[in-house]
């Protein structure tokens, strides 16, 4: 998780169950500390197939400044195909919220 342009921000990560009825938070952080913003999705890879990974991000800045958020999904330190989500644009208000999700699939055989 990267919140760019030196903007303060916070985020939360959720993993939904296979029925997509319940979720649990497994990660959270802020962009203003020195901690790595890297998290391990809980569970064995095969048990995650079909589950939903969700992220919610809140970025604070002055109106009109450029927003940049990057979410990278990796496995064994390797970037996943179609696993980079890049959000950019001008902030329309002092705090901008974004949420997105990805369905986890089995690796090709």
Bigger pLDDT: 109 vs 47: 47
The CATH code for residues 2-103 is 2.60.60
pLDDT tens digits, one per residue of 80-102? 888 999 999 888 888 889 999 99
Residue 104 token pair: 């986890």
Count of CA atoms in the C-beta half-sphere (13 A) of 18: 7
Size (the chain), residues: 109
pLDDT computed for residue 109 by the predictor: 59
pLDDT computed for residue 2 by the predictor: 87
The answer to whether 26 touches 58, Cβ cutoff 8 Å, is: no
pTM of the model: 0.87
pLDDT tens digits, one per residue of 32-78? 998 888 899 999 888 999 999 999 999 998 888 888 999 999 888 88
Closest listed residue to residue 80, CA positions, set 47, 43, 53: 53
Query: What residue segments make up the domains of the chain, in order of their start?
Result: 2-103
**Mean pLDDT value of segment 8-26:** 95
pLDDT computed for residue 108 by the predictor: 62
pLDDT computed for residue 8 by the predictor: 92
């Amino acid at each position: 998780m990267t919140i760019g342009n030196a903007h303060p921000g916070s985020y939360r990560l959720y993993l939904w169950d296979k029925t997509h009825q319940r979720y649990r938070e497994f990660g959270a952080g802020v962009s203003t500390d020195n901690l790595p913003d890297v998290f391990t999705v809980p569970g064995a890879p095969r048990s995650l197939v079909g589950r939903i990974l969700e992220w919610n991000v809140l970025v604070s800045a002055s109106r009109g400044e450029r927003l940049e958020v990057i979410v990278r999904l990796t496995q064994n330190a390797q970037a996943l195909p179609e696993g980079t989500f890049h959000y950019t644009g001008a902030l329309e208000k002092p705090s901008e919220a974004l949420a997105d999700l990805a369905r986890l699939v089995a690796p090709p055989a």
